[in-house]
Amino acid sequence: MKQPLLGKKITELRKQKGLTQEELVERCNVTVRTIQRIESGETTPRIYTIKTILNALGLDYEKVFEREYNEGKFDKILRFFPSNLKEVLNVSFIAGIVYFVLGFVEMGYSFIFIGLDSQTNWSDLPIKNYGGYSENGIYIFIKIISIISFSLLMRGFVLVGSYYKNYLVELMAFVMIIMHIIFEISEIVSINFENSLVEFIMISKAVTFGVIMIFFGVGLLRLKSHLGNLPKITGILEIITGVCFATVFLSVFGLIFLIPLELLELLLLYKVASKIRLN
């Protein structure tokens, strides 16, 4: 809420409590001049100051200034599934669980099902069948589910960024969706090529996502004023994981950090969804 509407709202709430400006000052330890400037619309206070005043009035910031969601530019591009914000975040949360579990399946498939070594090419492998489905077919199916679930998961963060006017989170989440689709399709196509191409794709993917994750983590840190310490912890781990992937040789550590990171991202989506009350 911007001035002068904010000032009018504070004045209205103070009068509802039957308090003078001086009495409010005694409760919240803010100067009379500051209260006067806020109520007259002369200044836009920090969120911390607003929360301090509302606490003195016995009110909750989120309940008083309930946010009205407006779609961001990237969310309009990604218009699929319900347009209801809370419903979309719930879908993103479920998709995130699917993507998290699928990550273990995909990794297990690569190491156990395919059994590649550094001297073996995908195209040289005999095609095995499992219940009528070839290895390549199963691999492609896993990749398609990965694309869908990851896109839905990140769409949740596009919405979160738009909802809290955090355009860095919104942009980076959108870029992640696009790059994930590109790299997943590249990995599917690379089935018929030599391992050198596969290695190039994997290195490019690690560097690209590493850089994006660093910026995404910075964006998450900016959500601390709205959501407490959870986005701060998630943002820090996001940056650390991004650095590991961007350097390539630390990617193994990145994969390890990725497990708690994805769980924290899911918790963050859940927390945002639980705080939203739609009109």
Asked if residue 151 has pLDDT above 70, the reply is yes
Q: What average pLDDT does the segment 25-49 reach?
A: 81
The pLDDT tens digits for 86-125 are 778 888 999 999 999 988 877 766 554 444 444 444 444 4
> What's residue 279's pLDDT?
33
Residue 30, CA atoms < 13 Å, CB-side half-sphere: 22
Instruction: Indicate if the alpha-carbon torsion angle 221, 56, 3, 86 is positive or negative.
Output: positive
How far the first Cα of the chain sits from its last, in Å, is 17
The pLDDT tens digits for 47-97 are 778 888 888 888 776 666 554 444 455 454 444 434 467 778 888 999 999
Q: What average pLDDT does the segment 212-233 reach?
A: 93
Percent of the chain's residues with pLDDT above 70 = 76
- Which range, of 46-55, 163-172, 264-273, averages the lowest pLDDT? 46-55
For residues 279 and 168, what is the distance between their CA atoms, to the nearest angstrom?
27
> How many Å is the maximal CA-CA distance in the chain?
83
Kind and range of the H or E element at 159? Answer: helix 135-163
Among 254, 262, 215, CA closest to 234:
262
3-state secondary structure 161-211: HHHCCCHHHHHHHHHHHHHHHHHHHHHHHHHHCCHHHHHHHHHHHHHHHHH
> What's residue 27's pLDDT?
83
> In this structure, are residues 100 and 152 in contact, taking their beta carbons and an 8 Å threshold?
no
> Tokens 């699928």 identify what position?
102
Asked if residue 131 has pLDDT above 50, the reply is no
Give me 263's structure tokens: 């769980």
Among 183, 182, 156, 181, CA closest to 170:
156
For residues 248 and 6, what is the distance between their CA atoms, to the nearest angstrom?
48
> What's residue 48's pLDDT?
75
> What's residue 175's pLDDT?
95
> What's residue 62's pLDDT?
62
> In this structure, are residues 187 and 142 in contact, taking their beta carbons and an 8 Å threshold?
no
